[in-house]
Amino acid sequence: MRKFLPLVALVLSMVIWSVSGIAIKHALAVLPPFTMIIMRFVPSVLLMLCIGLLFRHNPLFGLQRLQLKDLPLFLVAGFCQPFLYYLLETFTYDALNSPTIAETLLSTSPLLSPLFAAVFLRERVTVSNIIGILISTGGVFVLTLVGSKDYSVGNYWGVLLAFAAVSAAVVDSLMMRKVPARYSSLSFIFYAQLVSLLFFIPVWLWQEGVGAVRAIDWTSVEAHTALGCVAYLTVFASVIAFVLFCYALRIVGVTQANAFNNIRPAFTALWMLIFFGEHLPLAKWIGIILIIFGLFVCQKRGKLVKK
């Protein structure tokens, strides 16, 4: 049973993150982007600090003291994600005409993970990993592109920005794998997000600042909805999902863990169907089936890819 725990953790983290896009969309209807990020990550860091101190000796939720020799790992991790990834993601959506194309490009981390993991971590990549990732990624393209009305790309710099964002996310995964085992999953996420705030706060002050907060009508229903969405992003998306994903990745590896990112659009489509009545055509269901089937193939043990 214990061998399935990392897979359960990965699925749960993807379920949580699959709602994040919906929550972010509602929050951004009221909050400026950097203000929303600050309101999301400052409480999440404080929450992790309290949990880490309360469960100091717990292997998953304890908070260990940061050793100076490990600081570069956390600096790279915090700079890559959330900071760099969120910036590049924002510019990607701005540069590309179609949000559907942007979403598709930003969900291609499983394609880059085997290359990064093999080169930098010497992780073993199997034929099943590659075949499963290709099948699952094909399902993502079917799910997000088939039936879309707007296929125009727009500014082609957006394509490069999308792959830069994906690369930043994969590098963050590498840092999770390289960090010494003495740090709990919560410790890694806490220090990485703390570092990211050191980058986010100056950008927020430069772009929006306190004036953006004062300009919001906090008594409106829309503002209350936005605060609820930020609370979800803080507790579930920024703490629980990240801790679960970090725990699983350090067991199954970068390639297999990132393969589960393909399932997020499938869950999002299901939430849109259940809560918003957005009915899916047959092609979308075929995409969902391909995604799930590809993940099963990816988890199988198979022959190693020859170097």
* Full pLDDT tens readout for the chain, 307 residues: 567 899 999 999 989 988 887 788 788 889 998 998 899 999 999 999 999 999 888 888 899 999 999 999 999 999 998 899 888 877 777 776 655 566 667 777 777 787 788 777 777 778 887 888 888 788 877 766 666 554 455 567 877 888 898 899 989 988 888 888 889 999 999 999 999 999 999 999 999 999 999 999 999 999 999 999 999 999 999 999 999 999 999 888 887 888 887 777 778 777 877 777 766 677 777 877 887 788 777 766 655 455 4
Return the structure tokens found at 157.
């710099």
What is the predicted pLDDT for the residue at 307?
47
In a domain, 306, yes or no: no
In a domain, 175, yes or no: yes
In a domain, 245, yes or no: yes
What is the predicted pLDDT for the residue at 206?
94
What is the predicted pLDDT for the residue at 80?
94
What is the predicted pLDDT for the residue at 132?
81
In a domain, 307, yes or no: no
What is the predicted pLDDT for the residue at 26?
84
What is the predicted pLDDT for the residue at 77?
93
In a domain, 154, yes or no: yes
The count of structural domains within the chain is: 1
CB within 8 Å of 292: residues ≥ 6 apart: 136, 139, 263, 266
What is the predicted pLDDT for the residue at 19?
84
In a domain, 52, yes or no: yes
Residue 235 belongs to domain spanning:
2-299
What is the predicted pLDDT for the residue at 151?
45
d(CA 249, CA 7): 9
Asked whether the beta carbons of 171 and 123 are under 8 A apart, the reply is no
In a domain, 11, yes or no: yes
| Angle (nearest 5°) at CA 9 between 3 and 13 | 160
What is the predicted pLDDT for the residue at 219?
92
In a domain, 183, yes or no: yes
